[in-house]
């Protein structure tokens, strides 16, 4: 039986690739900027999230980051992001990226706010939130190392690992070997954005040099069968994002997107929303886009949701419970 949009939205979901600061609606970002006296490129909510390419997108993203200043700001955006995921896509568990070095707020203060918001959302909606501080690769390797040291010094159970994001054309993995090694020694899990547009070798380098068990995006591997075999052998999970992939591969029809090719090739790929309001999407909508484009049956849609559980950094018993919850949908729907 084909999975229709209601079914795709209703599946209990795990999300592995969503940026907290990218999950803020334009109206909220503008309200925060006004409250905190922060300059934005525009105060028109219809225009704030307009950009032509990745560098322009990241410029807007950093301006939005700057608009969050107090622990309460972080608590409110974390709570609202989780609520929206539950409302629009039956989100059950999410690992959220945050870019601490894009803010002028001490890491512990920001983190306490985020954890507070995530805990309140868990109490109110039953959705679990975890945190992945991400290195901004456009900043220096020494800033990256300092961030990892802060994460280790101010350790909280909600923080599972580290990420690496921003423009991969500007900050290759080899610059961050030291920071990732320090993280590995402290038992932190590791993922990195790589191969979002091109830079195929960065996918391989992130696995080999940084020890990443997951890659965010990674679409560029699809241009080389040898790279595909490499990532298959490595068992790498890809945290893909349909809408942002479409955005940064303009002109390609939905069924020709590299994320579609990855799914068709049977790679371990999860479906995620990246920066939902910035790309006009949400976790439920991402499943609708993927499922409709690829003509998923209900069983295939369930399989995709389970792939996200498999790629997550939950412990084994939580994974088993969520897998059961997802697979139960087949019997109850």
When asked if residue 95 is in the footprint of ligand ADE (CB under 6 A), the reply is no
Sheet holding 128-136, edge to edge: 13-19, 91-98, 128-136, 161-165, 189-194, 214-217, 237-241, 269-272
Q: How near is the Cβ of 269 to Zn ion at its closest, in Å? A: 14
Residue 94 within binding range of ligand ADE, rule CB under 6 A: no
Torsion from C-alpha of 149, 151, 157, 158, nearest 10 degrees: -160
Question: How far apart are the two ends of the chain, measured CA to CA in Å?
Answer: 11
> Which is nearest to 200 in space by CA: 177, 179, 217?
217
Site string for ligand ADE, 1-40 (x = CB under 6 A): ------------------x--x------------------
| Interhelix angle 283-294/298-311, nearest 10 degrees | 130
Q: Does 274 bind Zn ion (CB under 5 A)?
A: yes
CB neighbours (10 Å) of residue 87?
A: 12
Report the site for Zn ion in 174-233 (rule: CB under 5 A). none
- DSSP assigned state of 2: B
Distance of closest approach, residue 46 Cβ to ligand ADE, in angstroms: 21
Q: Which of residues 260-279 bind ligand ADE (CB under 6 A)?
A: 274-275
Under rule CB under 6 A, residue 165 binds ligand ADE: yes
Closer residue to ligand ADE in complex, CB, 15/165:
165
x-or-dash string of contact with ligand ADE, 215-254, rule CB under 6 A: -----------------------------x----------
| Cα angle: 114, vertex 323, 231; to 5 degrees | 80
Which of residues 92, 103, 166, 189 is near ligand ADE by CB under 6 A?
A: 166
For ligand ADE, the closer CB: 144 or 306: 144
The entry of Zn ion, ligand ADE, none near residue 196 (CB within 5 to 8 angstroms by kind) is: ligand ADE
Contact 262, 217 (CB under 8 A): no
Strand partners, 163: 134
Stretch that binds Zn ion, among 30-38, 130-138, 268-276, 306-314 (CB under 5 A): 268-276
For the CB of residue 295, give the shortest distance to ligand ADE in the complex, in Å.
Answer: 26
Task: Work out whether 21 is an interface residue with Zn ion (CB under 5 A).
Answer: no
Helix (H, G, I), strand (E, B) or coil at 257: coil
DSSP string across 41-108: S---HHHHT--SSHHHHHHHHHHHHHT--SHHHHHHHHHHHHHHHHHHH-EEEEEEEE-GGGSSS-HH
Size of residue set near ligand ADE by CB under 6 A: 10
Alpha carbon distance 119, 128 (integer Å)? 8
Alpha carbons 19 and 29: distance in angstroms, whole number: 14
Structure-derived torsion over alpha carbons of residues 284, 220, 275, 255, reported in degrees to the nearest 10: -40
Handedness of CA 284, 288, 289, 291 (dihedral sign): positive
At its nearest, how many Å lie between Zn ion and the CB of residue 18?
8
258 or 298: CB nearest Zn ion = 258
Q: Provide the mask over 191-210, with x wherever binding to ligand ADE is found by CB under 6 A and - wherever it is not.
A: --x--x--------------
Closest CB 197 distance from Zn ion, rounded Å: 12
Binding interface with Zn ion (CB under 5 A) = 274
Q: Note the residues at the interface with ligand ADE (CB under 6 A).
A: 19, 22, 61, 165-166, 193, 196, 244, 274-275
């Amino acid at each position: 039986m084909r999975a229709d949009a209601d079914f795709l939205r209703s599946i209990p979901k795990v999300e592995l690739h969503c940026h907290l600061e990218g999950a803020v609606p334009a109206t909220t970002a503008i309200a925060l900027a006004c409250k905190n006296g922060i300059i934005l490129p525009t105060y028109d909510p219809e225009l704030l999230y307009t950009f032509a390419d990745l560098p322009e997108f990241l410029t807007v993203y950093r301006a939005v980051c700057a608009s969050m200043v107090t622990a309460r700001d972080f608590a409110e955006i974390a709570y609202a992001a989780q609520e929206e995921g539950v409302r629009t896509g039956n989100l059950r568990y999410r690992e959220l990226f945050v870019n601490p070095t894009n803010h002028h707020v001490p890491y512990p203060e920001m983190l306490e706010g985020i954890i507070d918001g995530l805990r309140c959302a868990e109490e109110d909606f039953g959705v679990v939130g975890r945190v992945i501080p991400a290195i901004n690769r456009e900043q220096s390797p020494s800033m990256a190392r300092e961030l990892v040291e802060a994460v280790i010094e101010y350790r909280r159970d909600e923080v599972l690992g580290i990420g690496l994001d921003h423009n991969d054309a500007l900050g290759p993995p080899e610059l961050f070997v030291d920071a990732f090694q320090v993280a590995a020694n402290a038992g932190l899990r590791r993922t990195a954005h790589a191969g979002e547009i091109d830079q195929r070798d960065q996918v391989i380098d992130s696995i080999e040099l940084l020890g990443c068990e997951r890659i965010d995006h990674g679409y560029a591997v699809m241009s080389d069968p040898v790279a595909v075999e490499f990532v298959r052998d490595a068992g790498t999970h890809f945290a893909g994002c349909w809408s942002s992939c479409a955005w940064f591969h303009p002109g390609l029809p939905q069924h020709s997107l590299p994320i579609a090719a990855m799914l068709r090739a049977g790679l371990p790929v999860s479906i995620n929303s990246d920066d939902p309001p910035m790309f006009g999407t949400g976790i439920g909508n991402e499943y609708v886009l993927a499922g409709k484009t690829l003509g998923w049956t209900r069983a295939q849609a369930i399989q995709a949701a389970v792939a996200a559980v498999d790629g997550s950094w939950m412990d084994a018993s939580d994974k088993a419970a969520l897998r059961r919850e997802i697979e139960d949908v087949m019997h109850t729907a």
